[in-house]
Amino acid sequence: MAFSLNSYPVIYRARYSQDGWQEEYLEKSHKTPEEEARLDEAEAAALVNSRNFFDDMPLVSYTTQYGLSCFEGLKALPQKGGGLAIFRPDRNAERFYNSMKGLYMPPFPEDLFINVVKETVRRNAALGFSISYKPEWEKDSFINADSIYIRPFTYSEGGIGVNISRQPWVIVVISPVSAYFSAGTPDAVITNRIRATPNGTGWIKAASNYAIAALAKHEAMDSGFIECIFLDAAERKYIEEGSSCNIFFYLKSGELATPELGDTILPGITRSSIIELARDRGVRVSERKVSLEEVIAGAKECFVSGTAAGATPLTSLTYQGKKTVFNNGKVGELTAELRDTLKGIQYGIIPDTKGWLVRVE
C-alpha cells in the first residue's frame, strides 16, 4: 500500500469557534531526515507515534463513535526543474468546503485551505522533509514515482449520542507516498456490496463511506484482484466507481464513457482532469449512466482515476465468475496516452498550460 503513517513533523490544526477558525502549526518531535533514516525499527515506531497522537483532543467524539468526518487527498509533486508543486488544490478546497457543508459542519474557507496546504508543505520542506525529482521515474511513465501526500481532515468536538459537529477541528498532515496499486495483473471484480445509496453521502468525501469500500477491497484482494467495482444500489446494473477511484471505459464506438455525477458518486479531481485532457485530443467523452452489459459487450479499454491511482489501467473485469478482458490484456493506447499526459503535467515534464500546478515557494 502506498500510504504511510510516517508523517512529516509539521502539522496544521485549526478549531472552529464563534470567533472563527483558530489556527496553529505544530512542530512535532523529529530529527533530521538523515538521522531518522538511521533509526532502528523500535526507535522509528516511537517517533512516528509521537507525531500521530494528540493528548488534548477527545477520545469519545462524533468522529470516533459515528464516523462523522470528511477528508481530502491531494499531492505535492517534485518538479523536473526543481521544487514542488501541488496539483489543483483549488478543486480540493471546493470539495472539502462542500463536504463539510453537506455534513452540517461550519465549512472551511477555500482560500484558507489553499494557503494552509502550501504552507504545511513549505514548512516541512524547510526542515528537509521533502522529495526530489528522479529522472529514472520517466522510464515507466511515473508508475513508481514518489510524491508528497497531503491529508486534510476533520475531527469533531467531544460528544456521544448521534449528533452533528458544530466546533470541529481541521487538521492537515503530510507524508511521502509511492505507487498506490501493488504490482501484479491489473484485474478488477464487481463486488456485491453497495457503496452508496440515493439521498445518502456518496457525493461527500465522508469517512463513513470508506467502511464498505475497505471491506469490498479486502475481499477483492483476497480473491486475487487489485480493485473492486461497485454497481448502483437501485437497479444493480450500472457501473458507479471503485473502492477509492472513479472509472472510465473506452468503447469500441470511439466514446470515452464515465458514470455521471450524482449523489452516489464522488466528484473526482483527477476524473475531471482526464475528461478535459481527453476532450483536448478530440475524444468524444460522455458523462452518463454506463451499464455493466454495455461494458461487457463494447468496452475495449478501462482505467480508474484518482489522486492516489492517477490513471491506472484495468485489463479485465470479472462479474459472477465471468471475466471480460480489455485490449487483449494489455494497456490500451488511449489509457496510456492520458496517463502519461497527466503524469507529465504533474511532474513538470509537460508544460502546464492549464494552470493546474500551484508552486510551493
Q: Are 276 and 354 in contact (CB under 8 A)?
A: yes
Same domain? 129 vs 195 = no
**What does DSSP assign to residue 86?**
E
Domain boundary among the residues 118, 145, 177 is at 177
Q: Is residue 312 part of a domain?
A: yes
Same domain? 110 vs 200 = no
The residue range of the domain holding 211 is 187-330
Tell me the CATH number at 101: 3.30.470.10
Are β-strands 255-259 and 284-288 bridged in parallel, bridged antiparallel, or unpaired?
parallel
Q: Is residue 354 part of a domain?
A: no
Buried b (16+ CB within 10 A) or exposed e, 163-191: eebeebbbbbbbbbbebbbeeeebbbbbb
List the chain pLDDT tens, one digit each, 361 residues: 466 678 999 999 999 999 999 999 999 999 999 998 899 989 888 888 888 889 899 999 999 999 999 999 999 999 999 999 999 999 999 999 999 999 999 999 999 999 999 999 999 999 999 999 999 999 988 988 999 999 999 999 999 999 999 999 999 999 999 876 655 679 999 999 999 999 999 999 999 999 999 999 999 999 999 999 999 999 999 999 999 899 999 999 999 999 999 999 999 999 999 999 999 999 999 999 999 999 999 999 999 999 988 899 999 999 999 999 999 999 999 999 999 999 999 999 999 999 999 999 8
Same domain? 148 vs 235 = no
Q: At residue 215, what is the residue type?
A: L
Same domain? 20 vs 161 = yes
Domain boundary among the residues 155, 177, 199 is at 177
Same domain? 51 vs 135 = yes
Same domain? 228 vs 276 = yes
Q: How many domains does the chain have?
A: 2
Q: Is residue 353 part of a domain?
A: no
Q: Is residue 335 part of a domain?
A: no
Q: Is residue 284 part of a domain?
A: yes
Same domain? 122 vs 200 = no
Tell me the CATH number at 264: 3.20.10.10
Question: Residue 178: CB partners within 8 Å, gap ≥ 6?
Answer: 2, 144, 145, 146
Q: What is the value of pTM for the model shown?
A: 0.95
Q: Is residue 133 part of a domain?
A: yes
Q: Is residue 202 part of a domain?
A: yes
Cα dihedral 51, 53, 57, 63 sign:
positive
Q: Is residue 213 part of a domain?
A: yes
Same domain? 77 vs 199 = no
Domain boundary among the residues 121, 152, 177 is at 177
d(CA 354, CA 361): 19
Q: How many Å is the maximal CA-CA distance in the chain? A: 60
For 180: left if phi > 0, alpha if psi spans -120 to 50, otherwise beta; the answer is: alpha
Same domain? 25 vs 163 = yes
Q: Are 304 and 242 in contact (CB under 8 A)?
A: yes
